[in-house]
Structure 1
């Protein structure tokens, strides 16, 4: 990016508006950390850093902001009078794409791999250097600009896990447009609600996605969604994939590769547009919404500051190293840790189009780590439960050299202790559970190995990160003592990168998150803190069941079920009972090769819960199934399972991976006399 000319040149060039370089991550209390990211448990500087944040949060985040290139530095680190609870880096002017791409090319990383695309489902591999990425993003940004997309306009991406999805996100950020990624293959009516809410000028899509051995045609779904929607995009750019060709509608649809080739030939590019730190970067709709969707807004400045800080301090990763978040760009993990955080930090990020098993086997993750020399991996616990089910002795692991791997991080769903300990045993590495939400964009609680690893307590995501003052409260918002379960809330203000509001729904934002517990953000999760301040997330507040007046955690019961040696994964729901109000019902998926009768295992599980939790749980129903119904991000659809068991009306969730899995739950419940 060329510097501005004239007397303001120095002030307007983002390279001049920071301290340190693009390879430096600072915090108010964690400067000059040594390179031994993990360290031994017990040598952590976490408590010092957290106390430094508590003492002076403005100094803490102000120093963290020095790792970002600004056109104009913020006039205030935090303005308590702006927005619903205040806004971060007010007056700052920046560009996220510049920080993620351009500055690394300018600082000498042009030839370093930025993105490694690995697609076992198509047999394709591709590496984009930072220089390649800059060229592709500048070109697509120019194409979007040709279609009239400018600062503040919205662009929906309905894409599979291909480099063009990442390029599309960055191209929007480059020209100040607001992107909204909708999971590829999402149901047409659900996509239509997002089109009506975001009102995109352009939609970026592909002809198809590949899920395991299934090819899913996207274009018919998109066409139906546009038909359903009241708002119509002016143009759709379609990436034609060899697995399925899409029919283009003249006047509206345009071939992506043809436009790209023409732009490259003419040399047309778009440079970075200056945006306010408080301007939206993207809208991400939370999964499972009905009616008017809930669009989480992410701003530019706070998002960059917080995510850049996490790469070194939380994940212990240095610029130039290979980092892999095995997720999807349709989810918040993909936004934060496939696309933005690794690139802001100058890492190489892996974009994986495949599954943990079946592409081709349960050694798929080991192959990717070994081949690309990945130092840190981040995935969902459900992925490791799937691997454990297929290869419980980890025999496939012996084929691969994982000597570069330093840590495994888990998030997205509660990491049961059995899975954590299994992963630790086979890998011989720290396995770090951490907890966060779509709304926050980064961890509320974790084990910051960049500050020196804290002792791991299986079942806990460890401790609150700097920026989060986490409390456990009762219904009256009174703080509860250690080891007492209640609602988990965060004292306002939320730290940088957390949602400032919902897209065009300020009142709904306040009602959903800020009203029930005045002065706090409601996480809608339940749990407790122990005497050391370690958090335990026991499930959503809806997953706390009331059995004859006793409040019991389904998460706690799932821990017991998961400890059975034959169980690969499990889910516990509360179902209606005339006498007790609710009673727990457990579903278990068995490991491969188990030759016991399912009825025998079910009886063992009932006894196990009785022995470990006691009769108070009233746990008498265990059901073996072949699989659990999940979203495509791996979250178990407990709410829908409960509706089936309770004979309540239910609709097929838009985010479900395989609808037939719910039919299996219905049949299993009927076999046990429980479904209508």
Structure 2
């Protein structure tokens, strides 16, 4: 149960943030070091294109590194690198990281990068990826991190959109299936991109990895420059001083996952983002200087930007950088060993990671003998957290399990349980309450507010708080069309949900994940929650497939827990049908179930429901650039095509 004090603290802070947003964020901005402190907190002269702290100047790299060293904490670990793929482990202090970043900033500067220029970072989960990001911030260059291993056409599209001066890469990444050479992918992307060899790219800097050897150096020239070796360039460098930039200057451009056609580049500013991350680390996550924090994600995604790199370093915490998976590297105890090894105090990961552990080790036998007593909380985000997974993890670890919800576009949580302000009562299935700064509402298609408990479109009243996107790289008009036009005066999240009478927000999924069955609107998230209550099922993805009579009908793809495989899929289907009928009702018209070995997921762990719909409907399959394992598609197509693992009545 929540304490009256925690609830009072939250209500007080939320009220301050919406009644006096300028005063609220002026105070929060004092936690950031400014070259020129902002005098005007909110610039609304070009609404709906708002700017925070626009007349302020700062350097984000200085805030993440120099000020901690200057405060006498240079010997503290800034990054703990742990690679389950190679066995390599490395601790990097704030002083050491500052030296590496400032020297690589000089490398960037010597090869033509300057304030406002773009730099593509195409790297695996290694410390050099973080160094490259912070080095860009140090000289005012705008970085765009693209997940290592992205297909060449997708990489080329992002190069064309960002028009970078430099590309930073590594010889390759390592997956459980083996090494992935990046350089052939990058070479092809540059040949496809109009801004590659004949465009803006002046040089490619390559970090060789011993585990992925290859001809990294001496490749074909790019726009008249050779491919440069990271280590050789660092050896010739001198530390570069931080460059003051405007708070409104872009820090990075991040392309949304799963984009087809022309990519959408989310533009993040420097000042508002730094302020928001400092505030959220302390007040949402309860993490401050000296704490050990682990975000099990990737720097290619927004979670990695905000809570592997910038957030923890800005507040002076120690951040764990992990190259590995929750299972299979080598087993389902990988996460628990990392927590024990580094005395991790809080973990942030995706529900998919926890479901993968649960599927492989449902009784948590591998947790026995591993000391995770340092762990104080687990934060889950990125997709729907089903109640079964929530209860399983909370009971297993005996620590608060905090579901929260946000987006690439917002950069930090919209809805959550603010641990730093005092944890509130948990309602499984709800991401809890709006975070101070976000005025969340639920509206119908005509932008009228829905009553408590009524599902609709989740929107956020403008202006968005600091840290949210300020535009799209392709321009303000596209930004307005994509997010602001649907509900004037609001930011459209594209998600559906409801707010109950206590103000708790329930996310029901993307608005295009609502199934219309004979006129009845059903949430795929609610259906998945029900399917997952079956004791044999580890993961579930429910989609809508075409139905000649009802328009759509729900169809479930499921995986089973280890040791609970069944040859009687018909019996399993009947049991799940009864579960859905008893929980949601016959109106769901649920009757289709596919048992599959794995679900198709992005590298960040999200299930690719569009891909499942294409397979189930027999449409032409488009292999997404974000797919983690292409082999899984063959198994899925075989299951649907041959009907050997499908049962339907």
Normalised by the shorter chain, which TM-score bucket?
A: over 0.9
Q: Are the aligned partners of 2:2 and 2:424 in contact in 1 as well (CA < 8 Å)? A: no
Q: Does 1:104 align with 2:78?
A: no
Q: What is aligned with 1:423?
A: 393
Post-superposition Cα deviations, 1:322-374, rounded to whole Å, max 9, x if no partner, equal 00000000000000000000000000000000000111110000000111011
Distance in 2 (alpha carbons) for counterparts of 1:57 and 1:83: 16
Runs of 4+ in 1 over 4 A off after TM superposition: 38-42
Alpha-carbon shift at residue 42 of structure 1 (Å): 7.0
Aligned-partner SS, 1:408? strand
Structure 2 residue corresponding to 1:483, chosen from 437, 443, 453: 453
Q: What is aligned with 1:571?
A: 541
Once the two structures are overlaid, the 10-residue window that deviates more, 80-89 or 373-382, is 80-89
Once the two structures are overlaid, the 10-residue window that deviates more, 643-652 or 228-237, is 643-652
Aligned-partner SS, 1:108? coil
Aligned-partner SS, 2:638? helix
Q: Does 1:434 align with 2:404?
A: yes
Structure 2 residue corresponding to 1:502, chosen from 456, 465, 472: 472
Post-superposition Cα deviations, 1:557-615, rounded to whole Å, max 9, x if no partner, equal 00001111111110000001111000000111100011433332122111110111110
Distance in 2 (alpha carbons) for counterparts of 1:364 and 1:543: 33
Structure 2 residue corresponding to 1:397, chosen from 347, 358, 367: 367
Distance in 2 (alpha carbons) for counterparts of 1:284 and 1:451: 30
Q: Are the aligned partners of 1:41 and 1:452 in contact in 2 as well (CA < 8 Å)? A: no
Q: What is aligned with 1:613?
A: 584
Q: What is aligned with 1:654?
A: 625
Structure 2 residue corresponding to 1:259, chosen from 214, 233, 245: 233
Alpha-carbon shift at residue 213 of structure 1 (Å): 3.9
Q: What is aligned with 2:593?
A: 622
**Structure 1: 5+ residue runs without aligned partners?**
1-37
Q: Are the aligned partners of 1:306 and 1:496 in contact in 2 as well (CA < 8 Å)? A: yes
Aligned-partner SS, 2:236? helix
Q: What is aligned with 1:242?
A: 210
Aligned-partner SS, 2:267? strand
Q: Are the aligned partners of 2:264 and 2:474 in contact in 1 as well (CA < 8 Å)? A: no
After superposition, the Cα gap between the structure-2 partners of 1:590 and 1:177, relative to the gap in structure 1 and judged at 3 Å, is same
Q: What is aligned with 1:457?
A: 427
Q: Are the aligned partners of 1:602 and 1:624 in contact in 2 as well (CA < 8 Å)? A: no
Alpha-carbon shift at residue 288 of structure 1 (Å): 1.0
Distance in 1 (alpha carbons) for counterparts of 2:359 and 2:74: 42
Q: Does 1:212 align with 2:176?
A: yes
After superposition, the Cα gap between the structure-2 partners of 1:410 and 1:42, relative to the gap in structure 1 and judged at 3 Å, is farther
Aligned-partner SS, 2:396? helix
Distance in 2 (alpha carbons) for counterparts of 1:457 and 1:212: 37
Q: What is aligned with 1:631?
A: 602
Q: What is aligned with 1:127?
A: 91
Distance in 2 (alpha carbons) for counterparts of 1:271 and 1:246: 34
Alpha-carbon shift at residue 672 of structure 1 (Å): 3.8
Q: Does 1:46 align with 2:17?
A: no
Post-superposition Cα deviations, 1:447-473, rounded to whole Å, max 9, x if no partner, equal 001111001111111000011111111
Distance in 1 (alpha carbons) for counterparts of 2:603 and 2:3: 36
Alpha-carbon shift at residue 54 of structure 1 (Å): 2.0
Aligned-partner SS, 1:215? strand
Q: Are the aligned partners of 2:327 and 2:333 in contact in 1 as well (CA < 8 Å)? A: yes
Q: What is aligned with 1:76?
A: 40
Distance in 1 (alpha carbons) for counterparts of 2:482 and 2:586: 36
Q: What is aligned with 2:641?
A: 670
Aligned-partner SS, 2:91? strand
Distance in 2 (alpha carbons) for counterparts of 1:94 and 1:212: 41
Alpha-carbon shift at residue 661 of structure 1 (Å): 1.5
**Structure 2: 5+ residue runs without aligned partners?**
none
Distance in 1 (alpha carbons) for counterparts of 2:284 and 2:454: 27
Distance in 2 (alpha carbons) for counterparts of 1:174 and 1:82: 29
Distance in 2 (alpha carbons) for counterparts of 1:392 and 1:318: 33
Aligned-partner SS, 1:90? coil
Structure 1 residue corresponding to 2:312, chosen from 334, 342, 347: 342
Alpha-carbon shift at residue 399 of structure 1 (Å): 2.1
Post-superposition Cα deviations, 1:466-524, rounded to whole Å, max 9, x if no partner, equal 11111111110111011111110101110101001000321111000000111110100
Q: Does 1:136 align with 2:100?
A: yes
Q: Does 1:57 align with 2:54?
A: no
Post-superposition Cα deviations, 1:2-44, rounded to whole Å, max 9, x if no partner, equal xxxxxxxxxxxxxxxxxxxxxxxxxxxxxxxxxxxx9868734
Aligned-partner SS, 1:573? strand
After superposition, the Cα gap between the structure-2 partners of 1:459 and 1:39, relative to the gap in structure 1 and judged at 3 Å, is closer
Distance in 2 (alpha carbons) for counterparts of 1:392 and 1:42: 37
Post-superposition Cα deviations, 1:621-668, rounded to whole Å, max 9, x if no partner, equal 111111100011111000121122223333110100011212222222
Distance in 2 (alpha carbons) for counterparts of 1:633 and 1:370: 24
Report 1:127-206 matches (<5 A): 127-206=91-170
Q: What is aligned with 2:193?
A: 229
Q: Does 1:539 align with 2:509?
A: yes
Q: What is aligned with 1:5?
A: none
Number of residues paired by the alignment? 634
After superposition, the Cα gap between the structure-2 partners of 1:114 and 1:535, relative to the gap in structure 1 and judged at 3 Å, is same
Aligned-partner SS, 1:374? coil
Distance in 2 (alpha carbons) for counterparts of 1:644 and 1:382: 21
Once the two structures are overlaid, the 10-residue window that deviates more, 656-665 or 378-387, is 656-665
Q: Are the aligned partners of 1:109 and 1:130 in contact in 2 as well (CA < 8 Å)? A: yes
Q: Are the aligned partners of 1:416 and 1:559 in contact in 2 as well (CA < 8 Å)? A: yes
After superposition, the Cα gap between the structure-2 partners of 1:387 and 1:178, relative to the gap in structure 1 and judged at 3 Å, is same
Structure 2 residue corresponding to 1:299, chosen from 250, 260, 269: 269
Report 1:504-543 matches (<5 A): 504-543=474-513
Q: Does 1:385 align with 2:359?
A: no
Aligned-partner SS, 2:339? helix
RMSD between aligned alpha carbons? 1.4
Post-superposition Cα deviations, 1:382-419, rounded to whole Å, max 9, x if no partner, equal 00000000100111112211111100000011111111
Structure 1 residue corresponding to 2:31, chosen from 44, 67, 89: 67
Q: Are the aligned partners of 1:480 and 1:486 in contact in 2 as well (CA < 8 Å)? A: yes
Distance in 2 (alpha carbons) for counterparts of 1:489 and 1:510: 14
Alpha-carbon shift at residue 617 of structure 1 (Å): 0.4
Distance in 2 (alpha carbons) for counterparts of 1:425 and 1:134: 41
Q: Are the aligned partners of 1:417 and 1:559 in contact in 2 as well (CA < 8 Å)? A: yes
